[in-house]
Chains A and B, each alone.
Chain A
Amino acid sequence: MEIFRNIAARRLRSTLTGGGVAAGILALTVTGALAEHFQAQFAGGVRYFSSNIQVADDAGGYAAVVSLGKIAAIQQVPGVAVALPSITVLARPGAAGPLLGLPDTIVYADPREHAYSTLRTAIAEGRQLRPDAQGEVVLGAGLAGKLGARVGDRLDLPVRPGNANPDFVSHPFIVVGIQRRTDTLPDATAQVGLLDAQLLLQESLPASFRDRVDPSSLASAITVYGKSGVDLDRLADRISASVPGVVATRPTDFVRSFDQSATFVAVAVGAALLGLLFGAVLVVGTMLAAVAERQPEIGLKIAFGARRWHIVAEYLFEAALLGLAGGLAGFVVGAGLAELLDLAGRGIGMDVFEVSGRLAELAVGLAVALGAGAGLVPAVRAARVDPDLALRLL
């Protein structure tokens, strides 16, 4: 109780110190929420693309297209469990993509992939696509939010850009389902049936090329799952070596090419360190001032039998309490700010903050540790107060 009252008695100093800690924790919360969001996205991608092999045409140029005729040959490679077509087309061509993270895409994934994929999705509203569906779409939660689409709405896909070419074509789709939020890849997708996807893929190709291909033979890539216990990197090498005209990317290489989670963690840690350093300096200053001003009290406590560790514990607790107060305030304001920014940015695809329980624990825990850590030197100094001299200051 004495510590609470001491903090309350020095209201301005405590508020400024708590405010400093709060500013650091606010920065940590906002950058941490950004990192959490992208980490979740990347984690899903890493999980998905680590479990299969992406096979593309090795011709270069329009290598985003591969012939489905290759599937039979790939299926013959020892170790292959299944080879399935997958199609990916930009959902909003010409629109500025997100600064970081995943672009919105129209995708086709073979229904058989459910038996192999590590990425699970579920329907929040409406229903799944029917196997032979045409003109139907199931939207990821993020894309549905951005487009303001609901089940039963009519949607033209791809979304026409403002500066669309004269030959730009879009097609009407009925939204039959919206997926539950996954915080990763599927959130930014519009799932359509195979025929629709092949048509959209063909139309996304340059005019000089699109008329020479049969859309029913097209896919963006072939997704290969290995049999249980098979090393996928080695299987990828075997596919590239034994199937002419395709290149199979090793899952480890593929994941490395897009996984930027380390960058986000580094940004978050950097921001946190800067913020926390600022807060730590304030806590040290405040606690040193408190020690200087309360020397007679410390002398008195020693006279009444307080051991040095009692004094250290009291000052550490006070510093940790300042950290906790600042940390809670910083986290609440930071989380609120992240939520507001998300609300404001949702319409333009900037729904990029994820305030998780883990982040809350980290922010508040760090604030307390910061307070206690920064209070250590003043606390030790307090414990070294000479009671003989301190009591003369009364």
Chain B
Amino acid sequence: MAAIEVRDLTLTYRQGEPSVVQALAGVTLSVQAGEFVSVVGRSGTGKTTLLHAVGLLVRPTSGRVVLDGVDTTALSDHERASFRGGRIGFVLRRHGLLPALTVLENVMLPLRYAPIGTRRGRRARELLDLVGLAGHVDDRPDQLTVGQAQRAAIARALIKAPALVLADEPTADVDDETSDELLYLLQQLNRTSGVTLVVATDDPDVASCLDRVIRLRDGRVVSDQRLRVDRKRPG
């Protein structure tokens, strides 16, 4: 069973009558469980929109998004929130750590919206250890480097042990060295935990480092190429 099954997905934004923007124009793709996939394309080609549609953050205009065999098109808003909260993790372009919270609190943030029984501070500390931030649990986001903040954001995405992580340009604002570190970290997480990872990026170098490259142009899939790359530990 595919982790992600997208069929004929279209999404149109209205930008004031009568102007409309077609962000996705009939996207069809399938991602198997445990794959490490990049969605690549220039800015404005629909990468973020595709991730948001797969992440159930926006309802498509038409088409279907099937996740782990569940057709999400028919789900209510409440069911979509439950599905999203329980099975999908997000890493965003800018880390999106809340400035009012410590690093540990930021990592635990998704647990706030989970059933009481699943609140696990211990797992948050383990994840911070895993991403190399064990010494920064009580720091505020503004005390971290951009790379450290992005690693904290990766830990946050994993806190509920999701089956799917969607990363929207996670290396956009970092230098090459940090970019390599982050990609290595994501790859290790993919390899060790089997989480399905979809990374949107406009950087061809980043895309070429992943197992599979899905190229978008004008809201359409123009190529779908499978690779197998094992990254070496940076440095």
Contact = CB atoms under 8 A, between A and B. Distances in A.
Contacts of A300: 90, 92, 96, 98
Nearest to A310: B113
Given A9-B99, A9-B100, A394-B94, A388 B57 contact: yes
B92 A305 contact: no
Given A303-B57, A307-B78, A394 B96 contact: yes
Interface string A374-394: 000000000000111001101
Contacts, number: 71
Contact of A5 (B81, B94, B100, B156): B100
A303 B86 contact: no
A386 B105 CA distance: 24
Interface in A274-310: 296-297, 299-308, 310
A296 B114 contact: no
Nearest to B11: A388
B55 interface: yes
B94 A305 contact: no
B100 A307 contact: no
A304 B78 contact: no
Contact of B100 (A6, A296, A391): A6
A1 interface: yes
Contact of A394 (B85, B92, B101): B92
A318 to B, nearest CB: 11
Given A5-B101, A394-B93, A394-B94, A304 B113 contact: yes
Contacts of B52: 387-388, 391
A303 B90 contact: yes
A2 B57 contact: no
Given A296-B96, A300-B92, A305-B84, A391 B57 contact: yes
Q: Majority SS of interface residues in chain A? A: helix
B100 A2 contact: yes
Interface in B126-179: 156, 160, 168
A261 to B, nearest CB: 48
Contacts of B98: 2, 297, 300
A387 B168 CA distance: 14
Contacts of B114: 305
A392 to B, nearest CB: 7
Given A300-B96, A302-B81, A394-B94, A2 B110 contact: no
A316 B140 CA distance: 25
Nearest to B89: A304
B94 A387 contact: no
Contact of B85 (A305, A308, A391): A305
B86 A305 contact: yes
A303 B112 CA distance: 12
A392 B48 contact: yes
Interface string A1-29: 11001100100000000000000000000
Contact of B101 (A2, A303, A307, A308): A2
A304 B109 CA distance: 8
A277 B112 CA distance: 34
Nearest to A314: B112
Contacts of A308: 77
B55 A303 contact: yes
Contacts of A307: 78, 81, 113
Q: Which of B94, B99, B113 has the most CB of A within 10 A?
A: B113
A388 B81 contact: no
B29 interface: no
B128 to A, nearest CB: 17
B227 interface: no
Interface in A345-388: 386-388
Ranked 9 nearest A-B pairs via Cβ: A305-B85, A388-B58, A5-B100, A304-B110, A305-B113, A306-B113, A387-B57, A394-B94, A388-B52
Given A300-B96, A391-B92, 16 more contacts: A1-B105, A2-B98, A6-B100, A9-B100, A296-B96, A300-B98, A301-B109, A302-B81, A304-B109, A305-B113, A308-B77, A310-B113, A386-B58, A387-B58, A391-B168, A394-B94
25 contacts: A2-B101, A2-B105, A9-B100, A297-B96, A300-B90, A300-B92, A302-B57, A303-B55, A304-B110, A305-B81, A305-B82, A305-B85, A305-B86, A305-B110, A306-B85, A307-B81, A308-B77, A310-B113, A386-B58, A387-B57, A388-B52, A388-B58, A391-B168, A394-B93, A394-B96
Interface of A: 1-2, 5-6, 9, 296-297, 299-308, 310, 386-388, 391-392, 394
